[in-house]
Amino acid sequence: MKKIIITGALGQIGSELTMKLRELYGKDNVVATDIREPKDSKVVTDGIFEQLDVTDADRMKALVEKYEVDTFIHLAALLSAVAEAKPKLAWDLNMGGLLNALEIAREHNLKFFTPSSIGAFGPETPKDQTPQVTIQRPTTMYGVTKVSGELLGDYYFQKFGVDTRSVRFPGLISHETLPGGGTTDYAVDIYFEALKNNAYTSFIGKGTYMDMMYMSDAVDLIIQLMEAPSEQLKCRNAYNVSAMSVAPEDIEREIQKHLPEFKLTYEVDPVRQAIAESWPNAIDTSAAQEEWGFSPQFDLEKMTNDMLQQLNNKEI
């Protein structure tokens, strides 16, 4: 990667990835884009930033040509719960944006990354040790767009030789930017509320296991995957990646080690609970480990220590 364009740069992943890429590759070599342009964000003020609606293929192409980029990191998408509330918009944005980006990657011979998700699995997928290659029949619009995106990644690689790379992200936990409209968002909110109110009401039920990962591991793995030699990669659609499989009560127990009075209660949201139940409990990440050395640094204990410390420093 020498010159990189990122879409959705103000989102949960984008805001941290952009800063890390600027640090590693230089401010002049990272073109951050988003549909919003808040003047108080470091992503906007600390380097190159361009406003971009990813459904506008002409502007996307103009920016790729203006900055002569060689790598495209396409993050702009709606998350699972919002996509379920607005399925047509989710299809138009998630698929329209991805197709525009892939076409430009084909025309300009760009290296390409876009994330898939554990949402690409469905109720018929094996729930535990979910294999890299398995049944993918999701029952959400988010999942439909993620499986379609994986197929497009394969297609553009096989048909046109575009160097497509991807992972199936689990729930991502971060202290910088809040996620918006995901099913796994409870695992972020719980830390903010623990420090603010010593209590949290979870919209995901007790005993519901999902894969999760700390954002610093997610950012590092994107860079590691993008820098891996092309011939090492067998799965062009998306690699399973995860750092832990947790239920709300597991996070509760870890938080209580720091805040003994912390209280977790439940008010289950039937829509997000149904989505969570259609996803795996714990996926098998051996292909990512073997093919490009995926090795996350944060387990639940280490992540909880760091989250609470970082949030304390911010005095939220």
**Within 129-158, which residues bind ligand AKB (CB under 6 A)?**
142
Of 11, 47, 149, 171, which lies in the binding site for ligand AKB, with binding defined by CB under 6 A?
171
Residue 119 in the binding site for ligand AKB (CB under 6 A): yes
Task: State the nearest-atom distance from the C-beta of 145 to ligand AKB, in Å.
Answer: 11
Among 117, 130, 132, 278, binds ligand AKB (CB under 6 A): 117
* DSSP structure string for 176-191: SS---S-STTHHHHHH
Distance, in Å, from the CA atom of 219 to the CA atom of 23, rounded to the nearest integer, reads 13
| Number of residues near ligand AKB (by CB under 6 A) | 13
Applying CB under 6 A, does 184 fall inside the site for ligand AKB?
yes
209 is catalytic: no
Interactions with ligand AKB, residue window 58-87 (CB under 6 A): 79-80
Q: How far is the CB of 80 from ligand AKB (least distance, A)?
A: 3
Q: Does 118 bind ligand AKB (CB under 6 A)?
A: yes
What angle (nearest 5°) sits at the alpha carbon of residue 156, between those of residues 154 and 157?
65
Which residue in 183, 237, 240, 304 binds ligand AKB (CB under 6 A)? 183
CB 5 within 8 A of CB 72: yes
Query: C-alpha angle with apex 184: 74 to 121, nearest 5 degrees?
Result: 70
The answer to whether residue 296 forms part of the interface with ligand AKB (CB under 6 A) is no
Q: For residue 142, count CB atoms less than 10 angstroms from its CB and return exposed for 0-12, middle for 13-18, buried for 19 or more.
A: buried
Closest Cα partner for 208 from 101, 291, 118, 144?
118
Catalytic, out of 25, 67, 142, 156: 142
Sign of torsion, CA 48 51 57 62?
Answer: negative
Q: Does 166 bind ligand AKB (CB under 6 A)?
A: no
Supply the DSSP string of 116-160, one letter for each residue.
Answer: EEGGG--TTS-SEEE-SS-----SSHHHHHHHHHHHHHHHHHHHH
Looking at the Cβ atoms of 80 and 100, the one nearer to ligand AKB is 80
CB of 173 to ligand AKB, least distance (A): 10
Is 218 a residue that touches ligand AKB (CB under 6 A)? no
Q: Whose CB is nearest to ligand AKB?
A: 182
97-100, long-range: CB < 8 A, 24+ apart: 97/7, 97/54, 97/55, 98/74, 98/145, 98/149, 98/152, 99/152, 100/54, 100/55, 100/56, 100/57, 100/60
Tell me the closest approach of the beta carbon of residue 179 to ligand AKB, in angstroms. Answer: 6
Residue 114 lies near ligand AKB (rule: CB under 6 A): no
Q: Which stretch binds ligand AKB (CB under 6 A): 56-64, 158-166, 176-184, 230-238?
A: 176-184
> Min. distance of Cβ 255 from ligand AKB in angstroms?
20
Q: How far is the CB of 45 from ligand AKB (least distance, A)?
A: 27
Among 14, 153, 182, 296, binds ligand AKB (CB under 6 A): 182
Q: Interhelix angle for 186-197 vs 300-314, to 10°?
A: 50
Q: 184 or 285, CB closer to ligand AKB?
A: 184
> Could you tell me if 177 and 10 are in contact, meaning their C-beta atoms sit under 8 angstroms apart?
yes
Q: Tell me the three state secondary structure of residue 219.
A: helix
Binding site for ligand AKB (CB under 6 A): 79-80, 117-119, 142, 169-171, 179, 182-184
Active site residues: 142
